[in-house]
Amino acid sequence: MKRYNIILRTTAATLMMLVGCMNDNTTTPGFEADNTTIEARAEGGEYTLAIRSSKEWMAISDVPWVMISPANGRGNVECIIKIDSTLVNDSRDTKIRFSSAGEILEEVAITQDGYAKSITPESLEHEIAASASRTERWFEILVNANVQFDVEAEYTTDTEWLTVKEHSLTLDRGARPRDTRIKVEWKMNPEPKERVAKLHLNGQGMDSPTIVTIRQQAAPLIEDNRQGDSLAIVTIFEKMECWSDNGISTTEGMHRWDCVRLWEATDKSLPSAEAVGRVRDLDLSYFNTEEGIPQEIRYLKYLETLSLFGNVNTMLKSIDMGEEICDLEYLKGLRVAAYGLVSLPKNFARLGDTLETLDLNSNNFNSLPEVLTAENFPKLKVLNIASNRRASISDLRNRTTASQEGIGLYANTAKDNTIRQLLLWESLEELTLSYNYIEGTIPDFKVGEDGVRAYTMEDIAPRGDTLLWAVENNLPRILPNVNVLRMNLNFFTGDIPDWLLYHPRLLEWAPEVLVYSQQERGIDSEGVNVGFTNTPTSTEPYFERYPLMRGRFEFNDEMTE
């Protein structure tokens, strides 16, 4: 009995081993594939499968992202398995079934990886030049990515010198990466050392950014000497894209340049002996820039006058002047006209100890810069801030909709004191406010208020005039030293005040043209037609008050023999 049990257990074990062996060997007799698993990358591809079969067979895939070619055969056949790129981040799997007459011969398992979230720039480092023309100061970064991302710049200095433009990444195939280009504009390097910035490409749902390093070459060293002045001017010329007729030629000495005047030893206002041969005056006209005065201006340390005039498409530009000009401790005359300025630097008052002439005409200021006061510029004699019109309108009721950037220099004398403060600037000898958008009445003044005093004989005597009426009638002493006053083509209304109507210098100003004449067919913001209500029709009332002025200014059309 015991022997029978042993034989039975042995037989059962043997059967189990046979069944196990049959399960391990899944190949159907007469059919063989050289591989039963395919592991595919996320981007897909083609894979070869060798089939040996004595039977007719057919291959079937139940997913659209797997194709078999050929899909049937007999004998020795090489099948190409084409696997499409995935559209998802997770892996996916399927099977290819080989069958014959309804009998499954073989199953080939296919597993495909998903796309990991990725941001892959073509290059992780870019090197750019220290300077170039404005149209060439940009580059592109080709990026392959499957997540939306933003770009943040990190600088090794306080200066931001890169501008990253908006980019567009169209993920129209799910997680399959797509290419995009990031446009980066750059500013020229004013320093004689390399500078570095890092662009952080921050992907949605990613733990860490992809970093692209930007290296900019060092600028040439500008030394404190005559050669340094020459290099500074050439750099300024290139940065502003000045027209060639400014007379700069690197093959000739700086003393031959039309736009430059140098200090000579005999000059009365020579700052110091070291200034001889250095740049005294710089005059550049007609250029195309989107930026403020180049930083290299600070190297022209002995500059006495600077004139920059004529930017391309001035009215379309909104430019800040830049801080470096405030370092010029000998600057007496500054002209930055038709440039596109909308602001002055916050430290502009540093020029107040020396500046005598300031011309800001034909720019895009929306209001009179607050820094322009008699306290900040006690030596200023000439101020020109005319023609600051970005838009052209004749009805101020439309001023808020006429231009998104503002219409230009606007002031309402009923609501702010900016024009009033200008008229109290006693040191001025020339004031030009023509062709702006100034509305309201011309400010009037009373003796004893705001520090205003009346004319005295001491004021009149140096002129050699007998202007007793001004003294006897206690006329407010406003703009007493002004030889030129231009206030025409604005939007003034109301009466001309007596201080102006009977100003001792009135006839020197050609008032019929440069004071009384306002915007033709102009309408102010209250709907009132512009123009004065008491514009003189002749000079007779003036001569009645100042009879000795008749001989100087009355027109005489009699022919003399």
AA letter at 402: A
Q: End of a domain among 112, 128, 154?
A: 112
In a domain, 419, yes or no: no
CA distances to 271, 293, 457, 554 from 420, in Å: 36, 30, 25, 31
> Do 129 and 98 belong together in one domain?
no
Q: How many domains does the chain have?
A: 2
In a domain, 349, yes or no: no
pLDDT of residue 462: 66
44 contacts: CB under 8 Å, gap ≥ 6: 65, 82, 83, 84, 85, 86, 112
User: Domain with 185 in it: what CATH number?
Assistant: 2.60.40.10
In a domain, 136, yes or no: yes
Q: What is the DSSP string of 321-366?
A: --SGGGG-TT--EEEEESS-EEE--TTGGGGGGT--EEE-TT---S
Q: End of a domain among 112, 129, 153?
A: 112
Residue range 55-104, pLDDT digits in tens: 999 999 999 999 999 999 999 999 999 999 998 888 999 999 999 988 99
* Total count of residues recorded for the chain: 561
In a domain, 559, yes or no: no
> Do 95 and 157 belong together in one domain?
no
Rounded Cα gap, residues 388 and 336, in angstroms: 12
pLDDT of residue 561: 37
Rounded Cα gap, residues 216 and 126, in angstroms: 9
Residue range 123-162, pLDDT digits in tens: 999 999 998 888 899 999 999 999 999 999 999 888 899 9
Q: End of a domain among 216, 239, 263?
A: 216
Residues in the chain with pLDDT < 50? 1-25, 556-561
In a domain, 427, yes or no: no
CB 93 within 8 A of CB 109: yes
In a domain, 200, yes or no: yes
In a domain, 375, yes or no: no
> Do 79 and 97 belong together in one domain?
yes
> Do 136 and 199 belong together in one domain?
yes
> Do 166 and 200 belong together in one domain?
yes
Rounded to the nearest 10 degrees, how much is the dihedral formed by the CA atoms of 10, 13, 19, 20? -140
Q: What is the DSSP string of 115-126?
A: PPP-EEES-SEE
C-alpha gyration radius of the chain: 42
> Do 137 and 100 belong together in one domain?
no
pLDDT of residue 17: 42
> Do 137 and 76 belong together in one domain?
no
> Do 105 and 129 belong together in one domain?
no
In a domain, 248, yes or no: no
> Do 127 and 99 belong together in one domain?
no
- Confidence (pTM): 0.76
Rounded to the nearest 10 degrees, how much is the dihedral formed by the CA atoms of 227, 228, 232, 233? -30
Range of the domain at 123: 119-216
> Do 138 and 206 belong together in one domain?
yes
